[in-house]
Structure 1
Amino acid sequence: MDLVALSNGLHGSVQMDSVTPPPWNTHNVLIIITSLSCLFIYVFGIADCVHAIGIDQYWYNVSHPSKLYEEYYANPSTVKYSFPEQKRNLVYIFMESMETTYEDLEHGGAFEESRIPELTEIADNNLTFSYGNNDNNGFLVPSMSGWTAAAMVGQTSGIPLNIPVDGNSYVSKDSFLPGCYSIGEILENNGYQNELLIGSDGKFGGREYYFKQHGNFNVVGYNEAIKKGWIDKDYHAWWGYEDLKLFEYAKNELTRLSETGQPFNCNMLTADTHHIGGYPCIECEDLYGDQYSNVIRCSSKHVTELVQWIQEQPWYENTTIVLAGDHKSMDPDWFKDIETSGYNRKCYYAIVNSAATPVTQKSRKISTYDLFPTTLASLGVTFDSDRLGLGTNLYTETPTLVEKLGFKKFDKELTRHSNYYDMYILYGKGKD
Structure 2
Amino acid sequence: MKRRRLISILSVIVVFIGLVLWKVAKWVPQSFGDIPFEQVLFHVMVPMKGTDTSVFDQFVSYCLPTPLAISGILLVCFIIKDWKLTCDIKNGEFKHVRNNILIILTTACCLFVYGFGLVDCIYAVGIDDYWYNIKHPSTIYENYYVDPASVTYTFPEKKRNLIYIFLESMETTYEDKENGGAFEESLIPELTLLANQNLTFDNGDKSNNGFLVPAMSGWTAAAMVGQTSGVPLNTPAGANGYLSDTSFLPGAYTLGDILAANGYQNELLLGSDAEFGGREYYFKLHGNYNIVDYKKAIENGWIDKDYRVWWGYEDLKLFDYAKIELTKLAESGQPFNFNMLTADTHFVGGYPCSECEDLYGDQYSNVIRCSSKHVTELVKWIQEQEWYDNTTIVIAGDHKSMDNEWFKDIEDSGYNRKCYYTFINSAITPTTQKSRKISTYDLFPTTVASLGITFDSDRLGLGTNLFTDTSTLVEIMGFKKMDKQITQHSNYYDKYILYGKRKD
TM-score, normalisation: structure 1: 0.87
Aligned partner of 1:163 in structure 2 is: 235
Q: 1:47 Cα shift?
A: 7.5
Quickly say closer, same or farther: Cα 1:199–1:168, change in 2 above 3 A.
farther
Q: What is the deviation of 1:107? A: 0.2
Structure 1 residues 194-343: aligned runs within 5 Å: 194-343=266-415
2-structure distance, mates of 1:49, 1:184: 39
Quote the offset at 1:111 in angstroms: 0.4
Cα separation, partners in 2 of 1:235 and 1:431, compared to 1, 3 Å: farther
Work out whether residues 222 and 241 of structure 1, in 8 Å CA contact, stay in contact via their aligned partners in 2: yes
d(CA) in 1 for partners of 2:242, 2:179: 42
1:69 partner SS: helix
2:439 and 2:427 mapped to 1: Cα distance? 22
In the TM superposition, what are the counterparts of 1:414-425 in structure 2 within 5 Å?
414-425=486-497
Q: Gapped runs of 5+ residues in structure 2?
A: 1-112
Q: Secondary structure at the match of 2:282?
A: helix
Deviation (angstroms), 1:132:
7.6
Structure 1 Cα separation of the partners of residues 313 and 116 of structure 2: 49
Provide the rounded CA distance (Å) in 1 between the counterparts of 2:121 and 2:297: 46
Q: CA deviation at 1:170?
A: 4.2
Which residue matches 1:33? none
Q: Show CA shifts across 1:235-260 (max 9, x none).
A: 11110011111111110110110011
Residue identity in the other structure for 1:306: L
The DSSP-based 3-state class of the residue aligned with 1:256 is helix
- Mapped contact 2:208–2:436 kept (Cα < 8 A): no
Query: Which residues in structure 2 correspond to 1:7-406 (within 5 Å)?
Result: 51-130=123-202, 133-135=205-207, 137-165=209-237, 170-406=242-478
Structure 1 residue 229: Cα displacement: 1.2
**CA offset at residue 376 of structure 1?**
0.5
Q: Which secondary structure state, in structure 1, belongs to the residue aligned with residue 368 of structure 2?
A: helix
Q: CA 1:43 to 1:391, structure 2 compared with 1: closer, same or farther past 3 Å?
A: same
SS at match of 1:285: coil
Larger RCO: Structure 1 or Structure 2 (Cα < 8 Å, ≥ 6 residues apart)?
1
**Aligned equivalents of 1:69 and 1:186: distance in 2?**
21
Residues 343-381 of structure 1: per-residue CA shift (max 9 Å, x gap):
000000100001000123542110000000000011011
Q: Is the contact between residue 89 and residue 265 of structure 1 (CA under 8 Å) also seen in structure 2?
A: yes
Aligned residue for 2:449, secondary structure, equals helix
> Residues 130-153 of structure 1, C-alpha deviation per residue, up to 9 Å, x if partnerless?
188334630000000000000000
Name 1:12's counterpart in structure 2. none
* Counterpart amino acid of residue 156 in structure 1: T
Larger radius of gyration: 1
Are the equivalent residues in 2 in contact too, given 1:188–1:215 (CA < 8 A)? Answer: yes
Give the equivalent residue in structure 2 for 1:408.
480
The verdict on how the C-alpha distance between 1:314 and 1:45 changes in structure 2, with shifts beyond 3 A counting, is closer
TM-score of the two chains, using structure 2 as the length reference: 0.75
Deviation at 1:57, TM superposition (A): 3.1
The alpha carbon displacement at 1:51 in A equals: 4.9
- Asked if 2 retains the 8 angstrom alpha-carbon contact of 1:275 and 1:329, the reply is yes
| CA spacing shift, 1:48–1:149, aligned 2, 3 Å | closer
Letter in 1 for 2:197: N
Amino acid at match of 1:333: E
Write out the 4+ residue segments of structure 1 that deviate beyond 4 Å after TM superposition: 41-53, 166-170
Report how far residue 213 of structure 1 moved: 0.2
- Contact kept, 8 Å, 2:400 with 2:419, in 1: the verdict is yes
Task: Report the Cα offset of residue 44 of structure 1.
Answer: 10
Q: Classify the secondary structure of the residue corresponding to 1:94.
A: strand
Partners of 2:394 and 2:447 within 8 A in 1: yes
| 1:290 to 1:53, Cα distance in 2 relative to 1, 3 A | closer
Distance 1:256 1:43, change over 3 A: closer
Query: What is the DSSP-based 3-state SS (H/G/I as helix, E as strand, rest coil) of the residue aligned with 1:295?
Result: helix
Q: Indicate conservation of the 8 Å contact 1:128/1:361, yes or no.
A: no
Q: Report the secondary structure of 2:169's partner residue.
A: coil
C-alpha separation in 2, matches of 1:286 and 1:394: 39
Question: Given that residues 208 and 437 in structure 2 are in contact (C-alpha distance below 8 angstroms), is that contact kept between their aligned partners in structure 1?
Answer: no
Q: What SS does structure 1 have at the residue aligned with 2:343?
A: coil
- Which letter does structure 2 place at the counterpart of 1:307? V
Q: Which runs of 5+ in 1 are unaligned?
A: 1-40
- Aligned residue for 1:111, secondary structure, equals coil
SS of 2:396's partner is strand
Where is the helix percentage greater, Structure 1 or Structure 2? 2
On the 8 A contact 1:128/1:136 being kept in 2, the answer is no
Q: C-alpha deviations, 1:210-236, integer Å up to 9, x for none?
A: 000000000111011111111111111
